[in-house]
A and B are shown apart, each in its own frame.
Chain A
Amino acid sequence: MATTAPITGLDAKLYYNSGTHASPTWVLIADAIDASSSIATTMVEIASRASNYGGNLPGLVKFSGTFTLLHTLGSNSVITALTGMSTGRTAKEFAFMDQLIATTGSKGMRFFAYIESMELGAGLEEGEAWDISLASAFAIESSAKVDPDWYVVS
């Protein structure tokens, strides 16, 4: 049983960074619907005739994320920013937080990503929504590589 408070996706918050990694400006993606973020490690199988038992060693660790976003009519600055990232092949930093980022203890995956795909769905009886997939970016800022991070607001 959980001994600390659980939380629903409704209260989780998704952000992108309009600034730099060193001096972030977090912009809330308020119209996000579902979101998920993941850390996946490639498993490298190690095997030889010396043993009957195979085993794995960890390979590369990759962060990724997906989210759906409500589409709205008229000017929508977040959609403009996201489509700009996609067509401009620009990496931005994202943060999938479990609550408002300005709350002490807020935590989540923070990583630079490219928009791998963004698909606008217009189902007959559904609100129009974007299906967006993020792939971890090889990010360099001020001549230093910026690695993905499990970010905890202190």
Chain B
Amino acid sequence: MAMSADQEKVIAELHAGVKAAPANDVANDRSQLLLVLEAVDAVKGSKSAEQSKAIEELRANVKGGASVVANSRATLLAVFDCLESLRAEPKKSEPKV
């Protein structure tokens, strides 16, 4: 399902915030991290082993607990990179029936 403009804005702001963070660990709002996962799941395409691992790590981290979730910055950057590369992939045309 396509993201709304507001949701895309949240994802862009999160990405910028994580990129600007200097530390190894960062903490973000769970609801916004779930939005990133939703965006990744909505795009078809091939992921590298590192990207798949990062996505699963993020998925595990957002389960349960507080409304703020700590993650490694590297994990989040790998997920954002994955999202960007999947979205940039040229879509194959639908097979003709």
Contact = CB atoms under 8 A, between A and B. Distances in A.
Interface of A: 15, 17-20, 22-28, 30, 77-78, 80-81, 100-106, 153-154
Given A27-B21, A78-B22, A154 B14 contact: no
A104 B29 contact: no
A27 B10 contact: no
Interface of B: 10, 13-14, 16-18, 20-23, 25-29, 32, 65-70
Given A19-B17, A101-B27, A27 B68 contact: no
A97 to B, nearest CB: 10
Given A18-B26, A30-B23, A78-B22, A25 B17 contact: yes
Given A23-B29, A26-B27, A17 B17 contact: yes
B22 A153 contact: no
B13 A153 contact: no
A104 B88 CA distance: 37
A77 B23 CA distance: 7
A23 B69 contact: no
A139 B10 CA distance: 19
Contacts of B68: 26, 101-102, 106, 153
Contacts of B25: 28
A102 B68 CA distance: 5
A26 B22 contact: no
